[in-house]
Amino acid sequence: MGSMTLEDVKNETVDLETIPVQEVFAHLKCSKQGLTGTEAQNRLTIFGPNKLEEKTESKLLKFLGFMWNPLSWVMEAAAVMAIGAIPKRMTAIEEIGRHDVLCSDKTGTLTLNKLTVDKTLIEEYGKGIDKDTVLLYAARASRVENQDAIDTCIVGMLADAKEARAGIQEVHFLPFNPVEKRTAITYIDGKGDWHRISKGAPEQIIELCRMPKEAEKRVHGLIDQYADRGLRSLGVSYQAVPAKNKDSPGEPWQFVGLLPLFDPPRHDDAETIRRALPLGVNVKMITGDQLAIGKETARRLGMGTNMYPSTTLLGDKSTEMSGLPIDELIEKADGFAGVFPEHKYEIVKRLQDRKHICGMTGDGVNDAPALKKADIGIAVDDATDAARSASDIVLTEPGLSVIVSAVLPSRAIFQRMKNYTIYAVSITIRIVLGFMLVALLWKFDFAPFMVLVIAILNDGTIMTISKDRVKPSPTPDSWKLKEIFATGVVLGTYMALITVLFFYLAHDTEFFPETFGVRSIRENEKEMMAALYLQVSIISQALIFVTRSRSWSFVERPGALLVIAFFVAQLLATCIAVYANWEFCKMQGIGWGWGLSIWAFTVTAFTNKNDYGKVEREAQWATAQRTLHGLNQGSSNSDMYTDNNGYRELSEIAEQAAKRAEVARLRELHTLKGHVESVVKLKGLDIETINQSYTV
Residue type, 29: K
Query: Residue 72 in contact with residue 465, Cβ under 8 Å?
Result: yes
Q: How far apart are CA 261 and CA 118, in angstroms?
A: 7
Q: DSSP string covering 465-512, please? A: GGG------SS-----HHHHHHHHHHHHHHHHHHHHHHHHHHHH--HH
- Measured from the Cβ of residue 32, the count of other Cβ atoms closer than 10 Å reads 10
The residues, ordered by sequence, that sit 6+ positions from 322 with a Cβ below 8 Å of its Cβ are 308, 329
Q: DSSP string covering 397-456, please? A: SSSSHHHHHHHHHHHHHHHHHHHHHHHHHHHHHHHHHHHHHHHHHH--PPPHHHHHHHHH
Query: Residue 112 in contact with residue 418, Cβ under 8 Å?
Result: no
SS3 286: strand
Q: How far apart are CA 379 and CA 361, in angstroms?
A: 6
Query: Residue 98 in contact with residue 644, Cβ under 8 Å?
Result: no
Read off φ and ψ for residue 158, nearest 5 degrees.
-75, 155
Catalytic residues: 105
CA angle (340 as vertex; 355, 282 as ends), nearest 5: 35
CA distances from 308 to 161, 291, 350, 537 (A): 39, 7, 15, 61
The residues, ordered by sequence, that sit 6+ positions from 36 with a Cβ below 8 Å of its Cβ are none
Closest CA to 336 of 305, 304, 371, 310: 310
CA distances from 367 to 341, 345, 356, 370, 378 (A): 6, 8, 20, 6, 10
Read off φ and ψ for residue 653, nearest 5 degrees.
-65, -45
Query: Residue 283 in contact with residue 289, Cβ under 8 Å?
Result: no
CA angle (275 as vertex; 274, 276 as ends), nearest 5: 95
